[in-house]
Each structure stands twice: as structure tokens, then as C-alpha cells.
Amino acid sequence: MDLIVQPDDGLEPLLEAIKSAKKSLDIAIFRFDLKNVEKAAEDAVGRGVDVRALIAHTHKGSDKRLRQLELRMLEKGVTVSRTGSDLVRYHGKYMIVDREELHVFGFNYTRDDMKSRSFGVVTRNRAVVQEALRLFEADSNRQEFEPSAEGLVVSPEDSREQLATFIKRAKKSLAIYDPKLSDTQMLRLLNQRAKAGVDVRVIGKVGKRAGAIQVQKLPGMRLHVRAIIRDGDTVFVGSQSLRALELDARREVGLIIKDAAIVKRMQEIFDGDWSKTDIGKKEQKEFVKDQKLAAADDVVAVASSRN
């Protein structure tokens, strides 16, 4: 498994993935304005790769851009499908390379998202990759999708159940990135965990029922990811916020994974971001103060022992 960190990693992981494709490349698109990525997809077609693009039927803003993207890709030999209109949005962001490698992103293929705090996860788990392929095929053909493999989190089919269970299992900590956390059930579960002694911290925005949850805005950087780090051993990365619309009425895609290196890196990044928040700065000052007091106590203890 691999972790992509934005804005640190930028375009390179996307370009490398597309350039590595030998047989097929399937891309689900919600927003897209990266010319280098578009050119890489065109080059893939040129070397004989079967490139398919599943483009959202709408997004907030100009749908004209989506239709222009469709036409450009069709002209370049990409097989293009448009999502149905049965769901409010098709907001998932993922890419499948050679039917062997799944990339799930919290970010879109846009310049703004490349400059935002976000994550992407790459897995080669066969069952999960095949599940993502089934989802891509179902949405391309506007057919119903029935989840059958653990690990891939799909809204609206099973994300509420999977993420509720994910939260309930927290024993020590939940570190959450979420721009719009507002779902009543999820807030209740988070508060229950907090009252049970779990350290629940959120970078982003939370609705009126924040309760015992610590919430801070991300300073100095745009936030565009939905991610949860649980107990330092499991993470969720995806496109669904913990709010009703994204759990129950939109197509969203995420991954739940256990990978020690990825979990450790994400926790380090969260802790670094948290340290820049108002609460984080206050905690750091209190820590330094406590360290100084402890050092002073040690000096006194040494002096007393000598006397």
C-alpha cells in the first residue's frame, strides 16, 4: 500500500500511475482541470491502453466544463460514460490501473486540490480492487450496485453502517479530518466515545452538537479530505464527510485499511496540523511549562539530596 499526501506530493503520483498503465485505466471524475493529467491519459491511449472515464453528471458550478471534458476525452480516444442522475451527486474520486491497483483519493483532479490538505491511498488488495471494478462497471452502465467485500466504503449503500462501526470500535483515539461533519447519528457516536475516554479531535467543521468533541479549523491551508485515524492502527480515507447527504444520498467512495506505515504517517501529519491550531498551540505552551516545572523540581531534589 502507498499513501499520497497533498499538497506535499502534488501531481507526480497521479502522472506515475497513469504512465505505468499497460492494459487498462479506469478513472472516476467529479472535477478535473489538470492538463498534465489529461495529457497523460491521452498518451496512454496512444500506447494502446484501454482508457475509460466515468464523468459525473453534475457538480456545483458549471456543468458545461464537464461536458467539454467529455468531448475532449472522446476526441482523444477515451471511452467516456456519464453517471446517472438517480443520486444527488457522484462525488467519488478513484482510479484503477490495469485492474490490479486501486487509487482512492480525497482530492479531485484540480489545481486547487493539489494545494490543499488531502490524502490518497493505493491498494493492490485483489478483493478490494475487484469490488471497485464492479462499482465502476455498475455506475458506467447505470445499474444497481450491491457491496460484497469489506474495506471499500461506498455511499449510499454501506458507508453509514461501516463508518458507524469504525467509530464504535475506537478505544483510545479518533483523529478526524472533515470539512462538514454534521450527521446526528455520527455526532452522537463520537460524543459517546469522547465521554468513554476516547480522545476525539476534529480538524474541520462540526455541526451544533459538537458536545465533548474538540474541533479546530485547519490554519493556513485549505482542507479537502475526509479521513479518520483510529487508535493509531486503522485509517479511513475517502470522499464522504460524516453528514447525511454524503452518507445517504450521494455516490462516495472510501477505503478502510490497516497499514502500519500509512497509519503512522497520517497520525504524524494530523498531529502536526493540530499543533498549529489554537488548541494545539495552547497544549504546546502547557507542555513546555510542565517540562520547565519538572526540570526545576529535579534541580531542587538534587540540591536537597546533597544537603
In a domain, 73, yes or no: yes
- Are the C-beta atoms of residues 172 and 231 closer than 8 Å to each other? yes
Position 290 in a domain: no
Count of C-beta atoms within a 10 Å radius of residue 46: 11
Residues 166, 146 within the same domain: no
Q: Residue 210: what pLDDT?
A: 84
Q: Is 198 helix (H, G, I), strand (E, B) or coil?
A: coil
| Gap between the Cα atoms of 241 and 132, Å rounded | 20
Domain assignment present for residue 233? The answer is: yes
CA distances from 112 to 108, 118, 150, 153, 225 (A): 9, 11, 32, 25, 13
**Closest residue by Cα to residue 62 from 102, 32, 84, 88:** 32
Dihedral in degrees, nearest 10, Cα atoms 8, 10, 12, 14: 120
Q: How much is the pLDDT for 122?
A: 98
Q: What is the pLDDT of residue 272?
A: 97
Q: Who's near 200: CB < 8 A, 6+ residues apart?
A: 170, 173, 174, 176, 190, 191, 193, 194, 212, 213, 214
Indicate if 178 and 94 belong to the same structural domain.
no
Would residue 295 count as lying in a domain?
no
Amino acid at 253: V
pTM of the model: 0.90
CA quadruple 117, 122, 125, 131: dihedral positive or negative? positive
Q: Give backbone dihedrals phi and psi of 24, rounded to 5 degrees, phi first.
A: -150, 155
Asked if residue 298 is part of any domain, the answer here is: no
Q: How far apart, in Å, are the Cα atoms of 93 and each of 190, 213, 215, 306?
A: 26, 28, 26, 66
Are 80 and 219 in a shared domain? Answer: no
Residue ranges making up the domain that contains 178: 159-282
In angstroms, the CA 250 to CA 236 distance is: 18
> Which three three-digit cell numbers place residue 132?
471497485
Closest CA to 26 of 127, 91, 103, 95: 95
pLDDT at position 163, please? 98
* pLDDT reported for residue 274: 97
Question: Please, are residues 179 and 118 in contact by the beta-carbon 8 Å criterion?
Answer: no
Q: Which residue has the cell 503520483?
A: 13
Query: For the chain, how many residues are written?
Result: 307
Report which of 17, 34, 77, 35 is spatially closest to residue 52, judged by C-alpha positions.
Answer: 77
Asked if residue 75 and residue 214 are part of one domain, the reply reads: no
Residue 182 and residue 257 in one domain:
yes
Specify whether 69 is located in the same domain as 40.
yes
Domain boundary among 151, 171, 192: 151
Residues of the chain with pLDDT under 70: 62, 287-303, 305-307
Please tell me whether residues 117 and 22 are part of one structural domain: yes
Give me 298's grid cell. Answer: 529535579
Question: Cβ(267)–Cβ(229) under 8 Å?
Answer: yes
Q: Does 270 lie in the same domain as 245?
A: yes
Q: Does residue 177 share a domain with residue 121?
A: no
What separation in angstroms does the CA of 282 have from each of 76, 174, 274, 289? 54, 20, 11, 11
CATH number at residue 218: 3.30.870.10
- Our count of domains for the chain comes to 2
Tell me which residue has cell 476534529. 202
Q: Residue 120 is placed in which grid cell?
A: 490518497
Q: What is the pLDDT of residue 287?
A: 59
The dihedral built from the CA positions of residue 222, 60, 109 and 145, taken in this order, carries a sign that is positive
